[in-house]
Structure 1
């Protein structure tokens, strides 16, 4: 099976939405993003495991601040990795590309921008509105 290019994907008719070829396109996109992200996480972990040989208090403080920043970054990257895995699971179940709230198509352009999206634009806006109103002051 030939994987589509992005232009070929967008040129397909509306009734081809989430066809086998489109699903294959997004599977390859998600797998590539996952591999790239996993490599970055592995590199960060390797760097974090390097012992700090400095004895200068200022250098130790700066190194600790850098380490905390790297840990926050790793946490965000791990969350993204989880979202990619969830998207791959939805693909395997045939649910990828469909809004989990409305059942409507999410849309190819949105999925190209955010391949892990599980909500259409309207449902995402409603979710963000609820979050804003429920946020403690």
Structure 2
């Protein structure tokens, strides 16, 4: 089984070879399982939450419910990204930038296995978002 050190020691010419793809597939599948279990637990808590008590209890319950709903939304979005990453592994597109077609890089994928953009493309995207946010607030 390949670990991160072995992965990073591989030559650049071996980028997204069978061992690397298998490593990321296992990592993504484990993350999907963990996240699905956490999401099921979060959903169960949301369903079981009741609005009993005085006004302070109701307000606290409402705040907790709001936080749980945001958490469930984040978990659901991440599950979709994991499914898309697993699909890219199957199609042979995993590890390559959607914008430039260049390798995303092992270090970036180890930090964010669902990444679809190389670092340079991600920085350009963030600069555009920052620019548009400044224009809207002006």
Q: Same fold (TM over 0.5)?
A: yes
Q: What are the residue-to-residue correspondences of 1:1-137 with 2, within 5 Å?
A: 3-52=1-50, 54-135=52-133, 136-137=136-137
CA distance in 1, matches of 2:82, 2:105: 17
Question: Alpha-carbon deviation of 1:10?
Answer: 1.0
CA distance in 2, matches of 1:111, 1:74: 24
Q: Secondary structure at the match of 1:28?
A: helix
Q: TM-score, normalised by structure 2?
A: 0.93
Task: Spell out, residue by residue over 1:10-36, the C-alpha distance to the aligned partner (whole angstroms, 9 max, x if none).
Answer: 111111110011100000000011111
Instruction: Please report the RMSD computed on the Cα atoms of aligned residues, expressed in angstroms.
Output: 1.1
Question: Alpha-carbon deviation of 1:53?
Answer: 6.3
Q: Which runs of 5+ in 2 are unaligned?
A: none
- The list of structure 1 runs, each at least 4 consecutive aligned residues, that deviate by more than 4 angstroms after superposition, is none
Change (3 A) 1:52 1:93: same
Aligned residues: 135
Q: Which runs of 5+ in 1 are unaligned?
A: none
